[in-house]
Amino acid sequence: MDFYASDAFLTALARDFYRAKSTELKTYGIPGSTAQVRLAEINGKRVVHSGPFYDYVKPLPNPDRETVPDGTVGYVPKVVTSVIALPDEDPTSVVPEMPLDPAPLVLWETFETWDAYLALIRKRSKSLLRTQRQRLRKLVEQFGEPEFVFDNRDIEAFNTCIKWKIQQYRGGHEALESAEAVAMLRGLFEEGHLVLSTLKVGDEYVAFHSGFVWLDDYLALIPAYSPAFAKHGIGKEMLLRMLRHSYEAGHRAFDFLQGAETYKWEFATHVQVIESLGSPPLLGRLRDAAGRSAKQGLVAMSPELFYRVKRMVLGGRRMVASVRGSGRRTGAN
């Protein structure tokens, strides 16, 4: 069972984000599909299949044909339907055009040694590792050897990671600006399911990487780094250390989660194709299609413009919420 179907994640989602009064975890069938999925039903009626950091749903492995699910859900917006191996060169050439962003990952069983994995990276980019070694050497000469910690339990470091990521998006990261979503992450951190990895130079944090660890999988969730160290390639240095730790820890996979950012294709060996299953309500279909079209157009024109518009939209939502909250308080008085 994968992390997004686990008691740990589904309970945290229902409890901290949706603030459910009651939660039941059930197995559901999807009309038109043989897949069965595990989801949370909250407050005795609502089946939850979306939320912050909820990148996808995976069908339960090899369900018994005679096993009857607890119920049926008409629509699940993001389901992993297949996993495709990527070629050593031009990895995106085999990725099908789909409405939803895929989820690249590394399957470590492909490599007998860490050096064998580095050889793959060199095939894709002759300069990536060489440039990073040069940057690291200059960093060490100036500041000393960076200190990497895979599992840092310092809550203040966790708070700094969240703050840096919000600053990076300049107010355009909707999930991290939700108090409920951050409470959910903090709960998973305190329970040990969310791991915060850190990189320090001297006494100063320069990079963070938070992710979920579940069974033999690492799910890379939130990378953040200090802009002051960007010229040293500190974000890529952190990622390389994360990947090496994952390999040496014996993980099955390093999952980059949903998103087609360029850097993911430099490191991934496979990609998870994500599709919607079932029939969405008409209003949902129209909203999703319009949203995808607008996002694709803005990102193609200018990623900076996309995030500028997103910040404006979120700013408007926050203003409306503030006015509503003020009105409720005034009415209460």
Specify the pLDDT at position 258. Answer: 96
Q: What is the chain's mean pLDDT, rounded?
A: 88
The pLDDT tens digits for 81-98 are 999 999 999 999 999 998
**Residue 303 pLDDT exceeds 80:** no
Q: What is the pTM of this model?
A: 0.84
The pLDDT tens digits for 13-56 are 999 999 999 999 999 999 999 999 999 999 999 999 999 999 99
Q: How many CB atoms lie within 10 A of CB 223?
A: 21
Where do the structural domains in the chain lie, given as residue ranges? 81-294
- Annotation: CATH topology of 81-294: Aminopeptidase (3.40.630)
Residue 319: pLDDT band with limits 50, 70, 90: low
Phi-psi region of 51 (alpha: psi -120 to 50; beta: other; left: phi over 0): left
Q: Which run of H or of E encompasses 332?
A: helix 303-332
The pLDDT tens digits for 197-211 are 999 999 999 999 999
Residue 78 near residue 100 (C-beta atoms within 8 A): yes
Tell me the CA end-to-end span of the chain in Å, nearest whole number: 50
